């Protein structure tokens, strides 16, 4: 098998000298030097597509490129000095939508669960930089785990929304073409939807398209036909993740933020816990939901079975005065349009909207070597803006550009399994799009894996799956607002004028179970700072409230983590100084 694979690889990449190893699990490890990062990714994809290969571990290098690597040694040393700080049944590594969804699912059982998150808050990685699409399942390869969990998760999402009270809009997705030659491509997508079991996909006539989206009539398009997917939904991803985390915490799950897992402890083929920078947590099970670092966590457990190759996506949020033209997500495709350079392994993104009725463009899909590269490039922004088909919106209407990094592996499928190498270690890796839509089904699958191994686990008698709804002042009627203000005048003090967010809502967020300690954490919970001025007016007020309620000095308050203190600057001696230098003006 190895010789045959090696031959295929030489034929496909004759310019490279690469060496392969393949084990009994059909995991290929490849070594050698490539000429570029894209070439390295192409090699990985080529090998993963061979029928005899389950997945690929890259030990390849790139000529002239230092591939960034995270240094865990000082974090591990720091944790070892502190010794054992906690004993638990389950440790979950990562607090994105996958980790928080699993935590909530397992919280119904009498288990001591600890979630370790390296950042200062939940939902700060790939889950944060997400367009919020609850995909139906028509854009994933049939027969894959990703396809099955996408469709199952889509159907479970309404239950999550009902119990956790986050906004979920089943707005539907309509794709139309204005060139008859493109109808076979539409039919192909429709057939994939049928194979995957997508809910009620529909090939539509021009008349049906206009019935579904009357706004199309204003375009005077010569629509030839299209496809409609009613089970396409839209959420604000951070609302979902926060609700999952809050409900898990409500049911006695412990969240340790600013806690980096530096090693997975295992002995004689069995997991023993994790070593973090805050100390050792002993546990019977470790569930790996570490996003772009999931492959490194898996290797720490002695199970190097896949490699994450980061895929960066850029999104643009437009001002609210650029109202979306359509009720749902509409893709207008004609034969003469400028074709974006699309990643063949990613469905990418399109023109959509948020639940707050803001236009949202993207994401792009660019392979990058750095797992923490969230910079915006002119090329990625150009890709994102080229998606726009709204003639009344342009670059000048952008109020925010942001990037996320997808944790894709070379198989382009999810990796979810109890490790056959280290018992008690459960991999939940390579969860890229449609990971959000799949999240409820992923949580169910991990629950089944754990219970199958653990046997009978008693249910928690006090378990409550319902999270009380949040106060959203801006969505209330005037009568409801007046009644709330009479009850608590702090709801009458507007802190964020763009989004109409009150002091009362910010206080609710600060005194919640998952305590926000940064300005960005408040933004995710309340939308304070998400409007046109992007915090230009409200940020000082939010900072003041955080300092007051947390009992901190204002100079301690950060934008997003411990290294981003807002009111401090480096002086000429390289130390942080809260006082301005002469001529600098106010800090």
For the chain, 587 residues long, the average pLDDT of each consecutive 10-residue run is 94 97 97 98 98 97 97 98 98 98 98 98 92 96 98 98 98 96 96 98 98 94 97 97 98 98 98 98 98 98 98 95 92 66 60 92 95 93 90 93 95 98 98 97 98 96 97 96 98 97 98 97 97 95 98 95 83 58 39
Distance CA(122)–CA(1), nearest Å, equals 44
341: left (phi over 0), alpha (psi -120 to 50) or beta: beta
Say if residue 532 is exposed, middle or buried (CB neighbours under 10 Å; 0-12, 13-18, 19+): middle
Catalytic residue, chosen from 135, 266, 423, 475, is: 135
Distance CA(34)–CA(540), nearest Å, equals 49
Q: How far is CA 451 from CA 217, 327, 579, in A?
A: 54, 42, 57
Distance CA(281)–CA(261), nearest Å, equals 10
Distance CA(274)–CA(536), nearest Å, equals 41
pTM for the whole thing?
Answer: 0.95
Q: Which of the 8 DSSP states describes residue 321?
A: T
Domain boundaries, the chain: 2-62, 87-129+237-307+411-454, 173-230, 310-405, 476-577
Q: Is 511 a catalytic residue?
A: no
Distance CA(327)–CA(325), nearest Å, equals 7
Distance CA(229)–CA(218), nearest Å, equals 22
Distance CA(424)–CA(249), nearest Å, equals 23
Pairing of strands 254-256, 173-177: unpaired
Which CATH number, 3.30.428.10, 1.10.300.10, 3.40.50.150, 1.10.10.1100, labels domain 476-577? Answer: 1.10.10.1100
Q: How far is CA 148 from CA 192, 256, 431, in A?
A: 12, 32, 13
Q: What is the pLDDT of residue 576?
A: 59
Distance CA(541)–CA(562), nearest Å, equals 20
Say if residue 321 is exposed, middle or buried (CB neighbours under 10 Å; 0-12, 13-18, 19+): exposed
For residue 89 the two structure tokens come to 């049944």
Distance CA(349)–CA(352), nearest Å, equals 9
Q: What is the pLDDT of residue 562?
A: 75
Do residues 386 and 316 touch, judged by C-beta distance below 8 A? no
Distance CA(459)–CA(233), nearest Å, equals 32
Q: What phi, psi does 519 have (nearest 5°)?
A: -65, -40
For domain 2-62, the question of CATH label 3.20.20.70 is answered with: no
Question: What is the CA 444 to chain-centroid distance, rounded?
Answer: 18
Tell me which H or E stretch contains 228.
strand 225-229
Say if residue 554 is exposed, middle or buried (CB neighbours under 10 Å; 0-12, 13-18, 19+): middle
First to last CA, the chain: 65
Distance CA(153)–CA(172), nearest Å, equals 16
Beta bridge partners of residue 417, listed in sequence order: 427
Architecture per CATH, domain 310-405, reads as 2-Layer Sandwich (3.30)
| DSSP-H helix ranges across 514-575 | 519-526, 539-550
Hey, what CATH topology would domain 87-129+237-307+411-454 get? FAD/NAD(P)-binding domain (3.50.50)
Distance CA(148)–CA(142), nearest Å, equals 8
Do residues 363 and 252 touch, judged by C-beta distance below 8 A? no
Pairing of strands 425-429, 350-353: unpaired
Q: What is the pLDDT of residue 584?
A: 42
Distance CA(564)–CA(579), nearest Å, equals 16
Q: What is the pLDDT of residue 450?
A: 98
């Amino acid at each position: 098998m190895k010789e045959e694979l090696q031959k295929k690889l030489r034929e496909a990449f004759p310019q490279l000298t690469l060496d392969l190893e393949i084990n009994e699990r059909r995991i290929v490890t490849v070594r050698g030097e490539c000429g570029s990062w894209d070439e390295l990714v192409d090699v990985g994809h080529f090998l993963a597509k061979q029928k005899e290969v389950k997945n690929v571990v890259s030990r390849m290098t790139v000529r002239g490129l230092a591939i960034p690597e995270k240094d865990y040694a000082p974090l591990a040393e720091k944790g070892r000095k502190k010794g054992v700080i906690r004993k638990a049944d389950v440790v979950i590594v990562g607090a994105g939508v996958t980790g928080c969804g699993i935590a909530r699912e397992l919280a119904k059982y009498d288990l001591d669960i600890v979630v370790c998150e390296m950042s200062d808050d939940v939902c700060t990685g790939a889950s944060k930089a997400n367009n919020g699409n609850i995909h139906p399942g028509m854009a994933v390869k049939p027969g894959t785990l990703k396809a099955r969990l996408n469709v199952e998760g889509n159907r479970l999402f309404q239950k999550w929304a009902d119990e956790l009270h986050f906004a979920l809009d089943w707005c539907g997705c309509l794709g139309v073409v204005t060139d008859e030659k493109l109808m076979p491509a539409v039919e192909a997508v429709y057939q994939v939807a049928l194979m995957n079991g997508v809910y009620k996909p529909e090939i539509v006539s021009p008349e049906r398209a206009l019935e579904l989206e009357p706004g199309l009539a204003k375009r005077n398009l010569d629509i030839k036909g299209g496809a409609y997917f009613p089970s396409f939904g839209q959420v604000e991803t951070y609302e979902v993740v926060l609700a999952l985390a809050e409900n898990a915490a409500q049911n006695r799950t412990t969240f340790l933020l600013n806690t980096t897992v530096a090693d997975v402890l295992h002995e004689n083929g069995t997991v023993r816990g994790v070593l973090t920078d805050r100390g050792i947590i002993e546990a019977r099970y470790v569930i790996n939901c570490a996003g772009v670092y999931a492959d490194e966590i898996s290797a720490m457990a002695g199970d190097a079975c896949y490699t994450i190759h980061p895929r960066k996506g850029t999104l643009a949020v437009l001002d609210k005065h650029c109202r979306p033209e359509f009720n749902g997500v509409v893709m207008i495709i004609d034969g003469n349009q400028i074709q974006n350079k699309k990643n063949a392994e990613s469905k990418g993104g399109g023109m959509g909207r948020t639940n707050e009725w803001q236009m949202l463009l993207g994401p792009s899909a660019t392979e990058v070597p750095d797992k923490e590269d969230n910079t915006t490039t002119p090329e990625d922004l150009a890709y994102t803006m080229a998606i726009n088909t709204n003639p009344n919106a342009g670059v000048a209407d952008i109020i925010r550009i942001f990037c996320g990094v997808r944790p894709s592996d070379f198989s382009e499928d999810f990796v979810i399994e109890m490790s056959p190498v280290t018992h008690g270690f459960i991999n939940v890796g390579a969860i890229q799009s449609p990971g959000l839509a799949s999240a409820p089904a992923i949580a169910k699958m991990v629950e089944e894996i754990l219970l199958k191994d653990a046997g009978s686990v008693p249910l928690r008698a006090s378990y409550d799956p319902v999270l009380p709804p949040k106060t959203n002042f801006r969505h209330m009627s005037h009568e409801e607002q007046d009644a709330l203000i009479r009850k608590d005048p702090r709801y009458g003090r507007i802190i964020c004028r763009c989004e109409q967010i009150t002091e009362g809502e910010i206080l609710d967020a600060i005194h919640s179970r998952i305590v926000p300690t940064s300005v960005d954490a408040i933004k995710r919970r309340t939308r304070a700072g998400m409007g046109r001025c992007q915090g230009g007016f409200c940020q000082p007020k939010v900072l003041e409230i955080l300092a007051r309620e947390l009992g901190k000095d204002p100079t301690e308050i950060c934008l997003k983590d411990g290294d981003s203190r807002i009111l401090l600057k480096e002086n000429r001696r390289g130390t942080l100084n809260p006082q301005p230098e002469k001529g600098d003006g106010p800090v």
